[in-house]
Each structure stands twice: as C-alpha cells, then as structure tokens.
Amino acid sequence: MYFISTRGGDEKVSAPEAIVKGIADNGGLFVPETFPQVTEEDLLEMLKMDYAERAAFIMGKFLDEYDYGELLSECKRAYSKFEHDVAPVICMDGGPYVLELYHGPTCAFKDVALQILPYLLRRGAQLCGIQDDLMILAATSGDTGKAALEGFKNIPGMKICVFYPSEGISRMQKIQMCTTEGNNIDVIGVQGDFDDCQKTVKTLFADEETNEQLKERGVRLSSANSINFGRLCPQIVYYFSAYLDLVTGERLGLGEEMDFVVPTGNFGNVLAGYYAKLMGLPIRRLHCASNSNNVITEFLQRGEYNAERELVRTTSPAMDILISSNVERLLFEATGRDGVKVAEYMRELKETGKYKVSDKERGYIQLTFDGGYANEDECVEAMYNLFVRTSYTMDTHTGCGMKVLDDWHDNNRKDTTVQVLICTANPYKFPQDVLYAVTGNDVKDSFKGIKRLHAATAMPVPKALSSLKDKPILYDMVISPEDAAGVVVEFADGKAHGGVDIGENE
C-alpha cells in the first residue's frame, strides 16, 4: 500500500517510509492512497480472535510490507503488558456502554498505539535500509508523553525527546513523565501551551539546519504524535474490537449501525473511528466531545475553524488545544482528496488563525460528525450524576464526553442506536479533580487525592501511579520554543536535560 500527502504533490511512499518519516516533505500528513475494506466475512472471522489478533489483522491491511507473522507476534508482546483486557466494553446498569482504553502501562488510551509503535518504527527503518539512529520527537498535552517514553525507553538505535507545556498538564501527568528512567530519553518543559509544543515539533521537522546537524551525528527525526500514521493505525483497531465485542455479547446485530462518543483534542482518536468507518465498519455517527476550548465543536457546526482565541486551561488538559492537527486528514476526504485546497486551508490557518470550508464540504463532514462541549461545571455535574446513578468513576476528559452523550439523548429521545462512550484515561491520573467531582472534597496533593478517591470509590489504584510517590524527579528543564533546536542537537550528542548524563544509546 502507498501513502500520499494531504497537501498534494507527487510524493508517494510505502507504509514503512510513511511511518519513519512521520510528515510528508511538503508538510502534509500521510494518508492511505486507498482504504482497504473489511467485509462481513472478515468481521465474522474476527469474532473468534483476541485483541492482539484483531490488531494484526486490521493493521496488516495497511502494512503489507511488514511480515504478518512478525506483526502478530509483536502485537501479542505489546498487549501482554496491559493489566486487564486491552479495550473492554463495560455495559453498566443505568448507564452508557463505555469503552475503557486505560489499562495499559501508563493508564491512558495512548498506550494502545504507543506500545506497538516502537516495533513499527524500528522494523520500518530496517525495511527502508536506514542505518541512522531515530530520534522520536513528541509534543504532549499530558498522556502521549508518558506513553511514548514507556514505549521507547531503552530501545537500541532510538532516542525519544518529549516536549510538554510546563504549566499545561496535570501534576500527576508531569510526575509520570519526569520520573521516567531510561538511557535514551529526554523530557523538556516548554513555556506556553500544547499548541506551542506542537508547533515547536513541526518546526524542527522542517528546519533544514537542525536536520543537517542531526544527520552529521547519524540521527534522523521521526514522530510519535498522531500526525504519524503509525500512531493512528493501531487506534483504528479498538473501534472494530468494541463493535465485535458488542456483537458477541448480543448487544448488537452484525451489520447494525452504532455510534461512538469521543473526547477529542488533537482529533486523532476520533479520526481513527472515521477511518474504521471508511474501511466498512457500520458506524453511523461520531460525536466529538470538547471542553471549553470548543474549536472543534464550532467547526463541526458552522464549517469555520477559528483558533484566534485565548486558550482556556481546564481540568481536562489533553483537550486544551486550539489547533487540532488531524482535522487536516478529515479535510482531505471532505474536499474530495484535493491536496491543493487542503494546503490552502492550512496556509490560511497559519497566517490568519482561521479558515472556512465550503457548504458542500461542511455537509460531507456533518453526515458523520457532530460535536458538543462541556464547561468545567457541566463536566463535574455529568461525572457526579453518573457516579451517583451507577457508582462508575470516570476521568475529566470522559466527563466531557458524558455531558455530550447526555445532551444527545435529551435532544433525540427516540433514538435507539447503540452508543459507546470512549473512556480515555484512568481517573487516578487526575485524582484531585475526579475526587472533587464525585465527593465535593478538594485537596491539593495528588497522592492524598489518590488515597481519598480510593476511599470514596473503592476503585483499584494502578501500581503505575501509586508507585510514583517516592520516585525522584529526573527532568526539570523548561525552555522557550526558540531554544528547542539547540536542545535536540545536544540530546543527539548524548546530553539529557535533567542533570542526567545518558551517555551513548548502546
């Protein structure tokens, strides 16, 4: 299978090349030249499979250059690290269906992709004949950073550098990242918000001088964000798996349509669901949930993307984003795969902070997508109401999704379509905020918050979080975006920026 750029041009690359490069030469995002189809016979076959087998089956349709047996083996290895089922669908009395995606090593949905991405990159580099080390750059709004660090740490031939907004993530997320041990990692705070981090990473990819300096050191850049198709591809799988589990549980008939409600910031999670639909999964609608930074909501309703506003810092920091990169991939399909037009929209966004699609394009998008949002009070209320009704505890991002789902039901009372709310993070990643939502109690310390939340809910505390209390902080540098290039080159020379000398990546 070949991949092309959302911004047009003649570049056409294989799956290994798309995954290793991360971004197209013209700054666009790689998309499949065509979407492989999953038939009803395929779905029947997948009913018998476990999650790892389903993952290899779906990803293998895009990754035909990879050996299938090896891909299956690596999927089994990656998903054996999850504490429970990888992506269980919870059917609770008096509540919604919930797809829990937080049972991996770092307690967030990013683990589903970032436990398999190191293999896809490493093997992709081999298939491309690349001898250089790969340096993974990741901008994070909280969860991608730790999941990427956990996936890539100590892997020979790879380095990983994570940029996070110094004041824009939760205390627990920061502790998770800055206590990570490994001989090939660097964790850097950036003055600004996630959009500044994301812009910094994209600038580094396009910076010829920085890339030349890295080349002299035998290093080339790649990405772990959802701009990389290798990050996006594994996320398609859990939409198929959730559907199949509902069929197996006799909650859904094979071929019957369903909806997903998806908390979304950078638009990668929900785009994976859209790609599943393009492959033939019977998805009727994708309901996008935002917080007070409701750029996506307005775009889906009005067709105008307007990032010219002040970012609001919320208790759902992974959605504190104004420029959602993966919308570009949706635009590519909505414009009839017109790369020139997409490039023009992206130019307008860069220069003016906004763009507006045509009525035809907006209509295409609204056939599948709708959006809603929750402010802070509405998120708390939705979390509290569900907890009182069902004793189910959810994180703040999923709380925004719960509000959007409640609104849909209020406005469409006769709608009986099966709907699944995607649960993106373990509640203990945001202990103080979740504790406040379900009990009204307010504590300052994250670990006291964990203790009291456990007392209130009896929900098991993941070892990955409870063990952080006594770990030392290893990375504490904060830089301006302008200093990022120098930091990356220093890292290529073997210097991490928390007072830790990592030496060479043997």
Angle at 121 (CA atoms; ends 16, 108), nearest 5 degrees: 125
Residue 288: which of 257, 324, 312 has the closest Cα? 324
Chain Cα centroid distance, residue 327:
13
Cβ contact 1:36 at 8 Å: yes
Cβ contact 231:224 at 8 Å: yes
User: In three state form, how does the secondary structure of 446-467 look?
Assistant: HHHHHHHHHHHHCCCCCHHHHH
Catalytic-residue membership of 471: no
Q: Burial of 51 by CB count in 10 Å (0-12 exposed, 13-18 middle, 19+ buried)? A: buried
DSSP 188: E
State phi, psi for 316 to the nearest 5 degrees: -120, 70
Residue 401: which of 168, 109, 46 has the closest Cα? 109
**What residue type is 282 in one-letter code?**
P
For 132-144, the DSSP string reads SEEEEEEE-SSHH
Beta bridge partners of 189: 164, 478
Angle at 425 (CA atoms; ends 424, 428), nearest 5 degrees: 160
What the block records as the tokens of 110 is 């990013």
If residue 187 lies in a helix (H) or strand (E), which one and from where to where?
A: strand 185-190
Residue 475: which of 163, 144, 220, 222 has the closest Cα? 163
Q: Could you say which of 21, 110, 174, 341 is catalytic?
A: 110
Between β-strands 30-32 and 89-91, what pairing exists: parallel, antiparallel or unpaired?
unpaired
Residues taking part in catalysis: 110
